Amino acid sequence: VKVYAETSDWRIQYKGLTALAGASHWQFTAYKSTLQKFLPFDMDKPMGQVRQLDNRMNDAGLLRLMVSDPLAMNMSNTLGYLRGELGKGQAKAKKGKGLARRVLDFAPIKKMLLAVYNKIFSWYYS
């Protein structure tokens, strides 16, 4: 079980297959008949339909059965997966970080940038 600030996700292993059960909109599978209960979506905000699906499924008390590894590449997938680093323990040692990356990774700056990002995202959904 991995506990996040607002949710818990469970890793399930069955007959050699691994899946995750949780309450996020990361790649998941569901019966069409289940998803149809939550239609239609208001499409007036970017990715608004994703948030609406999350809220409606959460309100119904449903978890998502998610794949253990991303099967489609999109902006939310990590570069580590594309480089083949996920699932192999610690990633290979990388070259030294450049000045810009070190500045962006500096905790106070990173925290401030994440707060700005979070505020912008909240404006979309408020």
For the chain, the domains span: 2-90, 95-126
9 vs 1, residue with greater confidence: 9
Helix axes 107-125, 48-59, angle to 10 degrees: 80
Indicate the pLDDT class of residue 38, thresholds 50, 70 and 90. confident
Position with higher pLDDT, 121 vs 77: 121
The separation between the first and the last C-alpha atoms of the chain, rounded to the nearest angstrom, is 30
Q: Which tokens go with 104?
A: 């962006």
Q: What does the pLDDT average to over 95-121? A: 87
* CA angle, 120 then 123 then 125, to 5°: 120
Q: Which of 5-9, 31-35, 45-49, 87-91 has the lowest mean pLDDT?
A: 87-91
Contact between 88 and 52 (Cβ < 8 Å)? no
> What percent of the chain clears pLDDT 90, i.e. is strictly above it?
10
Region of residue 50 (phi > 0: left; psi between -120 and 50: alpha; otherwise: beta): alpha
pLDDT at 89: 55
